[in-house]
Amino acid sequence: MIDHIKGNLIEARDALDRLINDSVQLSNIETSANILVDALRNGKRVISCGNGGSMCDAMHLAEELSGRFRDDRPAMAATAISDPSYISCVANDYGYEHVFARFVDGNGATGDVLFAISTSGSSPSVVLAAQAARAKGMKVIGLTGRADSQLGQHADVCICTSAGRYADRVQELHIKVIHILIELTERVLQPTNYRHTE
């Protein structure tokens, strides 16, 4: 059993090392942070979505932007599409693939950001949300685990954390990317929180 534990940790470490040395994805993370900063600075908001574990990550992003990440600071406008009554309503009336797009249609506005998460990059509900966001004049940040994905085709920038054949390794890198994006956003919009780290 110890060998399996070590094997999992080594596999996770190797995936992280690949991301650390991927200059394209590092640049995509930086570009994504700038998109978030520009939107929030201009009074716009971030809407996040994803399915299953990716919904948990979408909620994590939204609660740490609107709530608190590390230190106190003003709330940032962010919400995850995660209300079960809303989701079950739209899934029942229109089909599950429309649960995120319908919310974007009703709540998104020009200049807002859709933060769309899909480990495969091909989830119909997430891809349709990205299409709806682009039609509304929103910016779209994709977070996925597969290169050249459908989601990437509809995103202004797509961060791809390729990490093997299973979603769990991809999701482990997704939460690292999300935390980095929140920190970078705070460093610009709330720089006093980081003076002690310089």
Q: What is the pLDDT, as a whole number, of residue 197?
A: 64
Q: What is the pLDDT, as a whole number, of residue 168?
A: 85
Beta-sheet strand order (sheet of 46-49):
78-80, 46-49, 113-118, 139-144, 157-160
What are the structural domain ranges in the chain?
Answer: 2-191
List average pLDDT for each run of 10 residues in the chain, which is 198 residues long.
94 93 97 98 98 97 96 96 98 98 97 97 97 98 93 96 81 96 96 81
Encode 50-74: b = buried (16+ Cβ within 10 Å), e = exposed. bbebbbbbbbbbbbbbeeebeeeee
Rounded Cα distance between 179 and 64, Å, is 9
pTM: 0.95
Q: What is the pLDDT, as a whole number, of residue 198?
A: 59
The CATH architecture one would assign to domain 2-191 is: 3-Layer(aba) Sandwich (3.40)
In the Cβ-directed half-sphere of 111, how many Cα atoms lie within 13 Å?
Answer: 10
